[in-house]
Amino acid sequence: MKIRGFSTASTGMFAIVKALCVIGILASTATACTGIRLVARNGSIIYARTLEFGEGMESNMLIVPRGREFVGETAVNTPGLRWTTKYGFVGPNALGLPSVCDGLNDKGLAVGNFLFPGTAGYQKIEKQNADRAITSIQVAVYLLGTCATVDEAVNALHGVRVGTVDMGSLNSLLDLHFAVNDAEGHSAVIEYVDGKMYVYDNPLGVITNSPTFDWHLTNLRNYIHLSPNNAAPVVMSGEKFTGFGQGTGMLGLPGDFTPPSRFVRAVAFTQTAPPTDTAQQCVWQAFHILNQFDLPLGAIRGNDNGKTIADYTNWTTAADMKHLRYYFNTYQNRRLKMIDLSKIDWNAKDFRIISMQEPETAQDVSDTAKQWTPKD
């Protein structure tokens, strides 16, 4: 497959503008991504997330080798930061661009972009500091290619300026905040607000969208009554009242698709999930939890210049940061697939692509029937 807009060192700004214009036309309500983290008993750590958008993003798994040069984009007609990938990484791209929305590198660092509309405020880029600048949509590529741990990622971003280009009405599409997780168990959320970089430890491992991460943590105090255990019967005036059925402990759990409600649900489900023994079991558990955030086409609708836009879950991924395995399925194909990073030639010169566009198929099991006798 050809990667649109690729030059030897960077993605041309024209290609980025063209791609973002397509995104802006197709989707104006893409703010429903959810990220979680789970830890298995053997110490394996799984970071998983969904990506929602109003139209298909044409994503494929992009493999970026070591030794690849990138150049930061700026709005001052001056090349930005130049860097060469020290680590190889894999992750889903969008609209044929040599950039990823999420990814895992060969050192076990996972980074994800999450939309942060109406809240993000990046740093000012001027010609005198342009040589240290990258755009918000290059943050994941920069960190995955140069860092092995959360601490390294935070320190790396302290050394650069993160800005945006002027996209007019499409500026909100560059509004991102970032989930960063590593194989050592560290998790952080990185946000840019009013020109300042904020780094939050993320012991819960959950991220959604706006408002700021600390606001979401404060909002959790409204739900400390939630419990996986059913509520006990109550006796009032001699009458005993019991719940109608299972789930009374979670009564009041918000079920809508807004970022605050998804954040609360994600915390509730990850904190009450039974511990698993292995990384693979943890991966299966992560996908089951994220099924609760799988957005069916038509459930969320917005209006863009008279056109109805409906978000849906384009894809879901999970990164096993200890064993370096990256799992995914898509809206079109729910079959789970895996990329083993230990089998990738990271010294290859070129980008490579693994297709995410295969249609769903059903396995015909009609001829597998076996004789069976009921137990007495």
What's the token pair of residue 246? Answer: 């299972």
Angle at 320 between CA 260 and CA 250, to 5 degrees: 35
- What pLDDT is stored for residue 302 in this prediction? 82
- What pLDDT is stored for residue 31 in this prediction? 63
User: How many other C-beta atoms can be found within 10 angstroms of the C-beta atom of residue 364?
Assistant: 7
Burial classification of residue 7, based on how many CB atoms lie within 10 Å of its CB (0-12 exposed, 13-18 middle, 19 or more buried): exposed
* C-alpha–C-alpha distance, residues 90 and 359, integer Å: 21
The pTM (predicted TM-score) of the whole model is: 0.91
Which pLDDT tens digit goes with each residue over 261-273? 999 999 999 999 9
- What pLDDT is stored for residue 333 in this prediction? 95
Asked if the model's pLDDT at residue 2 lies above 90, the reply is no
* C-alpha–C-alpha distance, residues 53 and 324, integer Å: 27
Query: What are φ and ψ of residue 272, in 5° steps?
Result: -100, 0
Which residue carries 């089998």 as its tokens?
A: 343
- What pLDDT is stored for residue 106 in this prediction? 98
Which pLDDT tens digit goes with each residue over 168-194? 555 556 899 999 999 999 999 999 999
Q: What is the mean pLDDT of residues 209-235?
A: 96
Q: Indicate the DSSP class of residue 207.
A: B
Is 167 or 94 the better-scoring residue by pLDDT? Answer: 94
Which pLDDT tens digit goes with each residue over 32-51? 899 999 999 999 999 999 99
Which pLDDT tens digit goes with each residue over 86-109? 999 999 998 888 889 999 999 999
User: How many other C-beta atoms can be found within 10 angstroms of the C-beta atom of residue 227?
Assistant: 13
Which CATH number is 13-349's, of 3.30.565.10, 3.40.50.2300, 3.40.190.10, 3.60.60.10?
3.60.60.10
Taking phi first (over 0 means left), then psi (-120 to 50 degrees means alpha), and beta for anything else, what does residue 41 get?
A: alpha
* C-alpha–C-alpha distance, residues 206 and 48, integer Å: 10
- What pLDDT is stored for residue 9 in this prediction? 54
Residue ranges of the domains in the chain? 13-349
Which pLDDT tens digit goes with each residue over 128-147? 999 999 999 999 999 999 99
Q: What is the distance of C-alpha 241 from the center of its chain?
A: 43
- What pLDDT is stored for residue 310 in this prediction? 85
Percent of the chain residues topping a pLDDT of 90: 79
What's the token pair of residue 267? Answer: 């915390």
Pairing status of strand 161-163 against strand 133-135: parallel
Percent of the chain residues topping a pLDDT of 70: 90
- What pLDDT is stored for residue 123 in this prediction? 96
Q: What is the mean pLDDT of residues 308-313?
A: 87
* C-alpha–C-alpha distance, residues 140 and 102, integer Å: 7
- What pLDDT is stored for residue 24 in this prediction? 43
